[in-house]
Amino acid sequence: MHLATLKLTQFKNYASQGLALSPRLNCFVGFNGAGKTNLLEAIYYLCMSKGYGTGQDQYSIRHGDQVARLEGTFVLDDGREDRIVVKLRNRQRKVLERNGTAYTRISEHIGRYPVVIVTPDDINLVLEGSATRRKLLDNSLSQTDPVYLNYLITYNRLLDNRNARLKELEGHGDHTGLLEVYNQQMAEPATYIHAKRKEFIGPFTELLTDAYARISGQREEVGLTYRSQLNELDWDTLIEERTEKDRIMQRTTGGVHRDELVFTQNDHPLRRVASQGQLKSFVLSLKLAQYRLLEQSTNRTPILLLDDIFDKLDHERVRQLLELVMSSAFGQLFITDTDPERVTSLIRHHPEVNWQRFLVVDGVARNEAEWKRFLEEE
Ligand SMILES: Nc1ncnc2c1ncn2[C@@H]1O[C@H](COP(=O)(O)OP(=O)(O)OP(=O)(O)O)[C@@H](O)[C@H]1O
Ligand SMILES: [Mg+2]
């Protein structure tokens, strides 16, 4: 699957922009603030119906305008074409259309046009608290297993209720037996979530270490450990052991909401020992592992968006990364760079790869021919 055309209207710093894209590799080059990331954001919107990160829709409408519109044509592997339109309106619900018909439920859209984005912010996956890493597990598992998603929602609801009850009790015993009811109701979801997370780690680690070895040229080894209180105890024993403490702390101290993914480099905690380039290599590997999983679960080749990947990586790693993503194991790619020559000098060794370069200046993206004409007219 690939995106063949992209049209932006009053989106971020673009007034009106149409692009005809390469099915393989597209490079957006230009100075800081030119609008390279905004183009990736537009593609992400078409695939996921929302922007990446926490930005709200209203910030995607060009300053001073009331509406924005994105349009993209996806070409599927069987040659069929799907036209997707996103309409953003100030203070109103957005509209998402597929081949001229608005979706009634936007969730129907998710997964049809799989996409993976790598941005400099992803480093937080390693540096921030454990909740971010549990989200990585939950995102990956929910996309492939609706039962998991349901159990996760149930577990979190029961956990909230249980915590609220513990607060109410203010340290006293619960003679109504309500806590006991929550304990029993949480058993099935907790056990399922734990089992699935544990099952996930093996294959995921394999994909991750494989990608890392390729990018780093096997200069160091990374690993992944799944820590859970349920690795040692079953739910009933755990919750029984914890109940006394929970009453005193007035919150639930045992369960899958305390799970942790530990990243390691040569068996040391990654966040403590890894250099900036090593961290970046690790995060890239995490995303490439997710790419494979997404590909397996959707049966479509995801689009890969690489924003600012060259920052902090040495020349050798950049080369290895590009060799990897340009291999036939990947589909359509989008890469941004402030240096117009860096990617192209590496791509020239791959005459078989179809590619396009766009020069981005102040919210206008021009392909090579348009750029040449523009310079001649100047
Ligand atoms: N809603 C908006 N309306 C108009 N302009 C906007 C809007 N949102 C962002 N911008 C502008 O878009 C520009 C940033 O674009 P973008 O993040 O794509 O830059 P970039 O080319 O990726 O730069 P860098 O190399 O620094 O990453 C900024 O100049 C910003 O002011
Ligand atoms: Mg950028």
Averaged pLDDT score across all residues of the chain: 93
Q: For residue 39, give the ligand 1 atom closest to its CA.
A: 18
Distance 97 CA to ligand 1 centre (A): 26
Count of beta carbons in the 10 Å neighbourhood of residue 133 = 20
What is the rounded average pLDDT of the residues 26-33? 96
Distance 111 CA to ligand 1 centre (A): 27
pLDDT digit string, tens, across residues 217-263:
888 999 999 999 999 999 999 999 999 999 999 999 999 999 999 99
Does the beta carbon of 317 lie inside 6 Å of ligand 1? no
Does the beta carbon of 64 lie inside 6 Å of ligand 1? no
Distance 59 CA to ligand 1 centre (A): 11
Q: What percent of the chain has pLDDT over 70?
A: 99
Label residue 2 by pLDDT band (50, 70, 90): very high
* Rg, Å, the chain Cα set: 24
Q: Reduced to 3 states, what is the DSSP secondary structure of residue 82?
A: strand
Distance CA 58, CA 65 (A): 10
**88: Cβ contacts below 8 Å, ≥ 6 apart:** 11, 57, 58, 60, 61, 67, 68, 69, 94
pLDDT digit string, tens, across residues 191-203:
999 999 999 999 9
- For the chain, the domains span 2-114+304-377, 127-270
CATH architecture of structural domain 127-270: Up-down Bundle (1.20)
Count of beta carbons in the 10 Å neighbourhood of residue 79 = 6
Distance CA 144, CA 185 (A): 24
Residue 106, phi then psi, degrees to nearest 5: -65, -25
Distance 119 CA to ligand 2 centre (A): 9
Burial (CB count <10 Å: 0-12, 13-18, 19+), residue 273: middle
Q: List, as one string, the DSSP characters of 240-288.
A: HHHHHHHHHHTS--SSGGG-EEEEEETTEEHHHH--HHHHHHHHHHHHH
Label residue 56 by pLDDT band (50, 70, 90): confident
**Closest C-alpha residue for ligand 1 atom 24:** 32
Q: What is the reported pLDDT for 135? A: 87
Q: What is the reported pLDDT for 285? A: 94
Does the beta carbon of 37 lie inside 6 Å of ligand 1? yes
Is residue 20 pLDDT above 90, yes or no?
yes
9-to-16, 61, 84 alpha-carbon distances in Å = 5, 9, 14
Distance 13 CA to ligand 1 centre (A): 6
Closest CA to 23 of 44, 6, 9: 6
Closest CA to 186 of 152, 216, 138: 152
158 Cα distance to chain centroid? 28
Residue 308, phi then psi, degrees to nearest 5: 55, 45
Q: What is the reported pLDDT for 105? A: 83
β-pairing, 81-89 vs 67-75, is: antiparallel
CATH topology of domain 2-114+304-377: Rossmann fold (3.40.50)
Please, are residues 16 and 9 in contact by the beta-carbon 8 Å criterion?
Answer: yes
Distance CA 17, CA 6 (A): 8
**Closest C-alpha residue for ligand 1 atom 29:** 33
Which tokens belong to 310?
């060259």
**Closest C-alpha residue for ligand 1 atom 27:** 32
- In sequence order, the β-bridge partners of residue 365 are 360
Distance CA 121, CA 283 (A): 10
15-to-38, 70, 125, 146, 221 alpha-carbon distances in Å = 12, 11, 34, 40, 47
pTM of the predicted structure, to 2 decimals? 0.88
First to last CA, the chain: 38
